[in-house]
Amino acid sequence: MNGETIVVGGGVIGLTSAVVLAEAGHRVRLWSPEEPGATTSAVAGGLWWPYRIEPEERVGAWALRSLEVYAGLLDRSEETGARLVSGVHAATPLDGLGAWAADVDGLRAATEAEYTPGDGLWARLPVLDMPTHLTWLVRRLEAAGGRVERRTVTSLAEAAEGARAVVNCTGLGAARLVPDAGMRPVRGQLVVVENPGVDTWFTHTGTGAASTYFIPQPGRLLLGGTAEAGADSLEPDPATAREIVARCAALRPEIAGARVLGHRVGLRPERAGGVRLEREELPGGGVLVHNYGHGGAGVTVAWGCADEVAALVDA
């Protein structure tokens, strides 16, 4: 074996895992068939929150570790893409959250002034401008001696050939590469508009495929959204886009007249049974660490999962 560690997958999970490994002294190459800016992670709204992710007993620790890391990036927001933004999670009772919620500073019930129905949570949480953050992760990886390579992997055995360790961060690609029949896409559609002055975020996940959220990002406002389990079309649907704008404008009327800048569609990599984060021994003495199935919360748990990946590679 040549002593290299190959990370397969160029989204936020793969990049963060590669950074942690490289900074721990591993010789890391990251293989991805697309540039990080073309991955599902680049489409994400970027709000830190454990959304559509299991298993609950592991997610809390991963999320809190990531929250700690993002707190350390706030003083370089233009470089890292990390900012603290206030907002409301509607229809989310505090006592319905896991034990992790007690460690989120300032998380509390929303007041009537903050959310008229009075049924929601107020929080000041990290919001990541994902294109900026992914670019920063690439630079940090390269500064630690790692490399990003455009490469399509046809099997994990290909990555394992000669490597000391392989880290599988392929998201939906794991359905084919592992193969893992428990993987499914959950389609999310967003509308990007000029920000008419909205400086807080809002989320209401709803009970069906439609959800309502808006997230301010530098120079724009992201409007959402959908959570269509099993749908895999990457083409924006015009009717869905109109419905998204209408739902958001019902809460903030100024959104109705905002100029549309673009449309985005991403496929969340959801897995039956939740995230798979575990180690396998490979023939010849190498190791394979799986780190996939993060659903709608890759940004939220990326650093906690990456720390565990590094521990498993070195175990």
Give the residue ranges of the annotated binding site. 40-41, 153, 170, 213, 268, 295-300
From CA 209, how far away is CA 80, in angstroms rounded? Answer: 32
Token match 């919001």: residue? 127
Going by C-beta distance under 8 Å and a sequence separation of 6 or more, which residues neighbour residue 161?
Answer: none
Q: Which residues are annotated as a binding site for D-dopa?
A: 213, 268, 296
Instruction: Name the amino acid, one letter, at 116.
Output: T
Report how far residue 281's alpha carbon sits from residue 313's, in angstroms, rounded to the nearest whole number. 10
Q: Which segments are annotated as binding site for FAD? A: 40-41, 153, 170, 295-300
Return the HEC string of the chain.
CCCEEEEECCCHHHHHHHHHHHHCCCEEEEEECCCHHHCHHHHCCCECCCCCCCCHHHHHHHHHHHHHHHHCCHHHHHHHCEEEEEEEEECCCHHHCCHHHHHCCCCEECCCCCCCCCCEEEEEEEEECHHHHHHHHHHHHHHCCCEEEECCCCCHHHHHCCCCEEEECCHHHHHHHCCCCCEEEEEEEEEEECCCCCCCEEEECCCCCEEEEEEEECCEEEEEEECEECCCCCCCCHHHHHHHHHHHHHHCHHHHHCCEEEEEEEEEEEECCCCEEEEEECCCCCEEEEEECCCCCHHHHHHHHHHHHHHHHHC
Count, residues in the chain: 315
